[in-house]
């Protein structure tokens, strides 16, 4: 009865170890006595170790003392094409010039023009107590509310339900009256608690064509559950236990071009299945064995929460541990395997991070193959979890320092590997409206698991998607003062800031741990929100723009700004909000649209942009996207929600 193994698991006690003087305790984040439900969780199990150390890791200086803005003042750098990063010659704080960045690797659409700045970003505390630690996070369309939830298994949080009914704890006569799921207004911080009955611990999710969240799996009574949250002021979770054919704990959900969902893997289940329609149930006959997940399973796993992306040709890219394949979802066969990515493991609990890089479309697009690339950064050695979780005293191995990039539409594609400024695991990768990638959160040593990582990586790093080929692709940005370790999360916001939340290395809610359970929520303003670049921020006139568009259709977005607009400095992108958990951002997708026409001065300081929608659902699965108009590399004041339909 292997399929019932984890559901019937007898939990062993978690071993806490003394932290010696070489590590330090961060100041307590919350007042009051430590709160812990007492449940230790299967992440603490002393399973058989093993694996191997994949070779020396290069731990470069993280650049935290690099020149540039330290927070507060801004210098705008005038940088010409061909000048290397860090060359501040001719810097002028009172003027801004633009740099043309030629597209590389055959994936671009002409040139991208952007203003240059030395601003390294800024942090703000948005909410002091979210009530729950955001193990899972997604921005919901139209209502602009961030959905955050943790797990019911601990029977405690930092917020009580406003009143009955409380959740009945399965198998007991006890009640759980704590909040485990909230909606947070991303402008005001106002919180609305949501009730949950089936455990969401380490679950998955994606938005459907109408913007509803469809979430799958979890732990215990939630492992085979499908749950749906609609978009209204009074909507709550609709839960459908028993809807999945296998339990899905640490599984990955992906949206296909026709809007259907697939869910891959999960602890003890090397299988996948299509998520059934609302109210229907899968049986074991609907479950497909997937031997790839058997082959990539280390003694300490390292293949949970696989990285899964829909390619532009309709095939599904799956990366687990250090291997990757293309799966045809219609024939359910593997059609290609890519080269092994060296230097350790990348998936849970080694826990690197990944994203699909921007998909670049041309005006009147007619290419048969639209290139698509993945970027995978960080992770750990194959035995990092065994060393940190199972060995006594604990040993925290250094995380990986590399980033690897691969075109998944090429059958002869090879990994292109470069080093980051510092080691990182447990991190997150945010694809920004401009196409650049923000690497944030995480640690420098250890592994995922309870108390299994050290050395918070407090500095975000900016990865330049396109460069002129002369300078570094990485820029170290200003640090937060809040460690974001295991179970951290993010959401890209309509104003182009990044919401940062979560972090819990403890099996419950603890205030006096080395890294306390974190319920504070921050906002990070990336480099493009330099106050000296505010002149470039356009305003989308929503009532004069098309917000519901069919594939391939041409549509209008109207913008208003200051002064004359140069079309060559315009970029329009659409972004699908991801379901974020455990360093994985399910269905995160940014697409640069082709500008077909640019009609100037349709009204004072007002212009119309004529765009072409993506050609089909393989490029942009049906549903809601945040549309950004970037000018000189600076996003608009507020994105617009647009729905792509078949």
**Predicted local confidence at residue 99, as pLDDT:** 52
Answer yes or no: are the C-beta atoms of 489 and 439 closer than 8 Å. Answer: no
More confident residue, 472 or 422: 422
Which whole number is the average pLDDT over 61-83?
33
Confidence of residue 98 (pLDDT cuts 50, 70, 90): low
Q: pTM for this one?
A: 0.86
| Residue 122 region by backbone torsions, left for phi larger than 0, else alpha for psi between -120 and 50, else beta | beta
Domains defined for the chain, CATH in brackets:
122-358+372-531 (2.130.10.80), 537-644 (2.60.40.10)
Q: What is the per-residue DSSP string for 129-185?
A: --SS--SEEEEETTTTEEEEE--STT---SSB-SSSPPEEPTTSS-EE-B--EEEEE
Cβ partners under 8 Å of residue 527, min gap 6:
117, 119, 120, 121, 462, 475, 477
* Average pLDDT of the residues of the chain: 86
R_g over Cα of the chain: 23
What are the tokens at 38? Answer: 């007492």
Q: How far apart are CA 58 and CA 49, in angstroms?
A: 25
More confident residue, 292 or 43: 292
SS3 call for 644: strand
Q: Which H or E run includes 564?
A: none
DSSP 27: P
Confidence of residue 466 (pLDDT cuts 50, 70, 90): confident
Phi, psi (5° rounding) for residue 597? -145, 155
Q: How far apart are CA 9 and CA 594, in angstroms?
A: 53
**Alpha-carbon torsion (592, 597, 600, 602), positive or negative:** negative
More confident residue, 230 or 49: 230
Whether cis (ω within 30° of 0) applies to the bond prior to 174 is: no
Whether cis (ω within 30° of 0) applies to the bond prior to 393 is: yes
Cβ partners under 8 Å of residue 230, min gap 6:
212, 238
**Predicted local confidence at residue 94, as pLDDT:** 32
Whether cis (ω within 30° of 0) applies to the bond prior to 165 is: yes
> Which residues are paired to 540 by β-bridges?
559
Which whole number is the average pLDDT over 259-287?
98
Q: Could you report the per-residue pLDDT of 199-229, keeping only the tens digit for each? A: 999 999 999 999 999 999 999 999 999 999 9
Which whole number is the average pLDDT over 544-556?
98
């Amino acid at each position: 009865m292997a399929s019932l193994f984890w559901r019937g698991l007898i939990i062993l006690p978690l071993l806490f170890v003394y932290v010696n003087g070489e590590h330090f305790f961060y100041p307590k984040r919350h007042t009051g006595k430590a709160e812990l439900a007492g449940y230790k969780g299967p992440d603490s199990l002393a399973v058989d170790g093993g694996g191997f150390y994949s070779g020396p890791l290069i731990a470069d200086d993280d650049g935290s003392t690099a020149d540039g803005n330290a927070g507060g003042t801004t210098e705008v750098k005038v940088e010409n094409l061909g000048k290397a990063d860090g060359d501040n010659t001719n810097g002028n704080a009172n003027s801004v010039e633009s740099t043309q960045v030629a597209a590389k690797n055959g994936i671009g659409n002409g040139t991208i023009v952007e203003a240059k700045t030395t601003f390294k970003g800024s942090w703000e505390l948005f909410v002091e107590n979210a009530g729950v630690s955001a193990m899972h996070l997604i921005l919901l369309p139209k209502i602009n509310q961030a959905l955050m939830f943790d797990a019911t298994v601990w029977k405690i949080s930092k917020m009580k339900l406003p009143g009955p009914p409380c959740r009945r704890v399965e198998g007991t006569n006890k009640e759980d009256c704590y909040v485990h799921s909230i909606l947070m207004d991303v402008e005001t911080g106002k919180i609305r608690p949501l009730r949950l009955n089936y455990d969401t611990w380490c679950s998955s999710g994606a938005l459907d064509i109408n913007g509803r969240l469809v979430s799958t799996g979890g732990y215990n009574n939630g492992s085979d559950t499908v749950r749906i949250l609609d978009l209204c002021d009074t909507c709550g979770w609709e839960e459908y236990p028993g809807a999945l054919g296998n339990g899905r704990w640490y599984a990955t959900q992906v949206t296909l071009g026709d809007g259907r969902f697939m869910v891959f893997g999960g602890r003890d289940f090397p299988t996948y299945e299509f998520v059934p329609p609302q109210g229907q149930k899968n049986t074991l006959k609907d479950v497909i064995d997937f031997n790839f997940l058997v082959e990539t399973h280390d003694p300490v796993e390292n293949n949970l929460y696989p990285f899964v992306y829909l390619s532009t040709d309709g095939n599904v890219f799956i990366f687990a541990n250090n291997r990757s394949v293309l799966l045809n979802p219609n024939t359910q066969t593997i059609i290609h395997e890519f080269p092994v990515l060296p230097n350790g493991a990348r998936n849970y609990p080694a826990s690197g991070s990944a994203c699909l890089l921007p998909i670049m479309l041309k005006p009147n697009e007619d290419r048969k193959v639209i290139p698509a690339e993945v970027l995978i950064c960080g992770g750990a050695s194959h035995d990092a979890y065994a060393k940190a979780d199972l060995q006594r005293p604990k040993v925290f191995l250094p995380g990986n320092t590399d980033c690897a990039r691969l075109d998944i539409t090429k059958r002869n594609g090879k990994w292109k590997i470069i080093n980051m400024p510092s080691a990182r695991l447990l991190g997150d990768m945010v694809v920004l409206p401009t196409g650049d990638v923000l690497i944030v959160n995480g640690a420098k040593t250890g592994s995922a698991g309870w108390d299994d990582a050290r050395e918070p990586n407090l500095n975000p790093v900016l990865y330049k998607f396109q460069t002129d080929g002369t300078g570094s692709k990485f820029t170290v940005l200003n640090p937060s003062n809040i460690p974001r370790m295991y179970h951290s999360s993010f959401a890209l916001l309509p104003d182009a800031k990044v919401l940062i939340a979560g972090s819990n290395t403890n099996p419950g809610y603890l205030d006096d741990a080395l890294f306390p359970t974190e319920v504070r929520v921050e906002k990070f303003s990336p480099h493009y929100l330099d106050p000296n670049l505010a002149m470039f921020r356009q305003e989308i006139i929503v009532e004069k723009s098309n917000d519901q568009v069919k594939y391939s259709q041409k549509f209008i977005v109207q913008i208003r700004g200051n002064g004359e607009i140069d079309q060559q400095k315009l970029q329009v992108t659409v972004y699908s909000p991801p379901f974020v958990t455990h360093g994985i951002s399910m269905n995160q997708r940014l697409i640069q649209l082709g500008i077909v026409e640019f009609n100037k001065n349709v009204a004072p300081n007002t212009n119309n942009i004529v765009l072409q929608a993506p050609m089909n659902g393989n490029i942009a699965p049906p549903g809601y996207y945040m549309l950004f108009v970037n000018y000189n590399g600076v996003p608009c004041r507020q994105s617009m929600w647009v729905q792509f339909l078949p």
